[in-house]
Amino acid sequence: MSLTADDVNKIAHLARLGIDHQDVESYAKDLSGILDLMTQMSELNTDNVEPMAHPMDQAQRLRADVVTEPDNREKFQAIAPQVEAGLYLVPKVIE
């Protein structure tokens, strides 16, 4: 299994991850090598095996729907790159 530079650009787009032009080839090479390593998995028949998502096979714990957190908006927004009137600012999305 080998990935092309094109594949890497597509994956990077899916992840909204900027990668330097000159690094694309080396990512393609590294990822292809990692995928080769993963093909070892196909050696093993896993037809009737239940996938394991969690070491304890635990179900999500639920809690009562009550307010437990105080309002921390100001504190959390103090570390944001750009805020105004309690809102996070990003470049204009709708013209």
Partner 1 sequence: MHTKTLIELAQGLRSKEFSSVELTQTFLDRIQKHQHLNAYITVTEAVALHNAQAADTRLANGTAGLLTGIPIAQKDIFCTLDVKTTCGSKMLDNFSAPYNATVVEKFNQAGAVMLGKLNMDEFAMGSSNETSYYGAVKNPWNINSVPGGSSGGSAAAVAARLAVCATGTDTGGSIRQPAALCGITGLKPTYGRVSRYGMIAYASSLDQGGPMARSAEEAAIMLQTMAGFDEKDSTSVDLPVPDYCAGLNNSLAGLKIGLPKEFFGEGLNSDVAATLETAINEYRKLGAEIKEISMPNLKLAIPAYYVIAPAECSANLSRFDGVRYGYRCANPVDLADLYTRSRGEGFGKEVKRRILMGTYALSTGYYDAYYLKAQKIRRLISEDFKQALTEVDVIMGPVTPTTAFGIGEKMSNPIEMYLSDIYTIAINLAGVPALSIPAGFVAGMPVGLQIIGNYFAEDRLLNIAHQYQQVTDWHLHTPKGFE
Whole-number Å distance between alpha carbons of 59 and 57: 7
Q: Is 33 helix (H, G, I), strand (E, B) or coil?
A: helix
DSSP label of 73: H
Q: How many residues bind partner 1 (CB under 8 A)?
A: 52
Chosen residue from 66, 67, 85, 93 binding partner 1 by CB under 8 A? 93
Binding to partner 1, residues 29-48 (CB under 8 A): 30-31, 33-34, 37-44, 46
Query: x/- binding map, residues 50-69, to partner 1, per CB under 8 A?
Result: xxxxxxx-x-xx-x------
